[in-house]
Every structure is written in structure tokens, then in C-alpha cells.
């Protein structure tokens, strides 16, 4: 199924940056270009044709083809000869899976994600903060009709996601302001929060409730309810959430689902050796 993805801007090339005869092209520059190709391929499950990939990365077709040939030999990319499209390869998955394995709590969290899915009948997600963005580690899909917003391994802005706001609510206002300055507040839908004052009011509500809500802020028609899983220092280790269509996650269900997500997050915190923060404990 075709996904709506946030397209990255085409790389702005410096004069002469993509000249084939440049003898320096065999070093760091080639590594950077190869990684940009893999990142671009990861944006769309349907893959890219060579010319489209060149446009998306801002590189010449000859440079892209040369790098793809090397990446294909190492199985980091795969070429579908029937559709003449390039895709992410098996080796990219193998390397990327190390990230999830390093988060050794992922396997322990799976029974709680299943519990969350079964109690809510919605898709359950586990996510962490990585470089001031939310990355989805794993999920248990709902048995209902569902349009996943972010695939496993996908990234989303903290201010535009339920799990992101759940984590931000544990930060000080100073730290939140710093993230806003560095990352901005993208308008993904007409319901996205794009003003700092509105975000701070929302984070205060998250602290009172114990769970965060993404109310169609990342995609119209989808809602998400999230709560933090804490480590042994009462700091955010991860966040879990349920996500589903607004036709199922109605205004009436929000408080019920919020209590379920909050309770399961507290259970998982204890299982992982974490400590829930004391009520009224200072943020940051």
C-alpha cells in the first residue's frame, strides 16, 4: 500500500560536488552519498527507478548507478528487474536490526504490547527517542482495518506524535524550548501544534493525565494515545502507544484507552526494573 511520506529536500550540491573525475570521490563523500541512497530507498516501500533516485538525492545518474552496483554486491540494496526499481536490501535490515537488539527490553516488551493490542483492539507500538526524534522499534498490528502512520524503523518529530509528547512532558521547559529551536514545529496537518505556547499547555495536560494524545496532528483520520516507560532513575526509557482510526478511537473512548495505556506502561516499567516518578515530582 502506498504510504504518504515526508519527503526530504533534494540535496543542494556544491559547484563541482558531483564531478565524476574528482579524485576525492572515493572517500568520505562516497560513503555519505551511499548512505543518502539507502535512506531515500527506505522512505518508500514501492522503491525507486534509477532516474527518480538520482533526482531525490540530487546526484547524477552515473554516480547513483555506480554506488548502487557496489551496494547491491553487499546486499544493502536490491534491484527488482520486473519493475526496474531499486529497494532496500536484506543486509540493510540485518544491520538496522542491531539497533532494536541493543535495546534489550524490546523482547520483554512484546507480551505487554500484545496485551495492549488485545485490550484496546488497536495497533500497539513501542518507540524510543533517537537524536531528538521518535523512532518506532516494533509494533503489534491491530486486527482491525488500520493505516500505519510510521513503519517500524521510521522517524517522526517529537512534537507531532503521541509518544513524542509523552516523553517531552517529562522534560523541563528549557529542554523542550531547545528542541523546538533545533527541530522546529512542522505542520503536518491542520491540527498540528505549531506554536510553543500551545505545546506547553498540552504538555501540562499530559502531566496531569499521565498519557499523551496525538489528535490527528500527524495524519488526518488517525489518533494515538501514549505513555512513558521509565528506567531505574525515573527517566524515560521508551514509550508505548495505541494508534487507530478516529472512527474507532472516539472522544468517548479516549479516557478509557488512556487509562489502559498508562497502566500497561506502568506494568512494563516495573518488569524492566524501572521506577515510576512520584506524583508531583519536579520535571527535568
Domain ranges of the chain: 23-94, 103-271
Distance CA 217, CA 71 (A): 37
Above 90 in pLDDT, residue 261? yes
pLDDT for residue 109:
92
Q: What CA dihedral angle connects 150, 154, 158 and 163, to 10 degrees? A: 60
Cβ count near 177 (within 10 Å): 14
User: C-alpha angle 39/127/33, rounded to 5°?
Assistant: 10
In terms of DSSP bridges, do strands 155-157 and 133-140 run parallel, antiparallel, or are they unpaired?
antiparallel
Q: What percent of the chain is modeled with pLDDT above 90?
A: 41
Above 50 in pLDDT, residue 30? yes
Distance CA 202, CA 205 (A): 5
pLDDT for residue 198:
94
Do 108 and 240 form a contact (C-beta atoms < 8 A)?
no
Above 80 in pLDDT, residue 66? yes
Between 203 and 145, the higher pLDDT residue:
203
Q: What is the CATH number of domain 103-271?
A: 3.30.450.40
Between 96 and 142, the higher pLDDT residue:
142
User: 157: phi > 0 → left, psi -120 to 50 → alpha, else beta; which?
Assistant: beta
Q: What is the CATH number of domain 23-94?
A: 1.10.10.10
What are the C-alpha distances in Å from 207 to residues 19, 143, 159, 252?
54, 31, 15, 20
Answer whether 0.85 is exceeded by the pTM: no
pLDDT (mean) for 61-70: 88
Distance CA 157, CA 164 (A): 7
pLDDT (mean) for 4-19: 39
Amino acid at each position: 500500500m502506498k504510504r504518504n511520506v515526508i519527503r526530504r529536500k533534494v540535496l543542494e550540491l556544491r559547484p563541482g560536488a558531483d564531478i565524476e573525475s574528482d579524485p576525492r570521490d572515493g572517500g568520505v563523500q562516497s560513503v555519505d552519498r551511499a548512505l543518502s541512497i539507502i535512506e531515500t530507498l527506505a522512505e518508500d516501500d514501492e522503491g525507486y527507478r534509477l532516474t527518480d533516485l538520482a533526482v531525490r538525492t540530487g546526484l547524477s545518474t552515473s554516480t547513483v548507478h555506480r554506488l548502487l552496483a557496489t551496494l547491491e554486491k553487499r546486499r544493502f540494496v536490491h534491484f527488482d528487474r520486473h519493475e526496474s526499481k531499486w529497494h532496500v536490501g536484506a543486509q540493510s535490515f540485518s544491520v538496522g536490526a542491531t539497533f532494536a537488539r541493543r535495546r534489550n527490553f524490546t523482547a520483554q516488551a512484546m507480551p505487554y504490547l500484545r496485551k495492549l493490542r488485545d485490550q484496546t483492539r488497536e495497533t500497539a507500538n513501542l518507540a524510543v527517542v533517537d537524536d531528538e526524534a521518535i523512532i518506532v522499534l516494533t509494533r503489534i498490528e491491530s486486527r482491525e482495518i488500520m493505516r500505519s502512520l510510521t513503519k517500524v524503523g521510521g522517524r517522526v518529530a517529537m512534537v507531532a506524535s503521541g509518544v513524542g509528547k509523552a516523553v517531552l512532558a517529562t522534560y523541563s521547559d528549557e529542554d523542550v524550548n531547545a528542541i523546538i529551536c533545533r527541530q522546529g514545529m512542522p505542520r503536518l496537518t491542520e491540527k498540528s501544534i505549531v506554536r510553543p505556547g500551545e505545546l506547553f499547555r498540552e504538555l501540562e495536560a499530559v502531566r496531569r493525565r499521565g498519557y499523551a494524545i496525538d489528535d490527528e496532528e500527524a495524519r488526518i483520520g488517525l489518533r494515538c494515545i501514549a505513555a512513558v516507560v521509565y528506567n531505574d532513575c525515573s527517566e524515560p526509557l521508551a514509550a508505548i502507544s495505541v494508534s487507530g482510526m478516529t472512527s474507532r478511537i472516539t472522544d468517548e473512548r479516549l479516557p478509557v484507552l488512556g487509562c489502559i495505556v498508562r497502566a500497561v506502561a506502568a506494568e512494563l516499567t516495573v518488569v524492566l526494573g524501572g521506577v515510576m516518578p512520584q506524583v508531583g515530582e519536579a520535571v527535568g
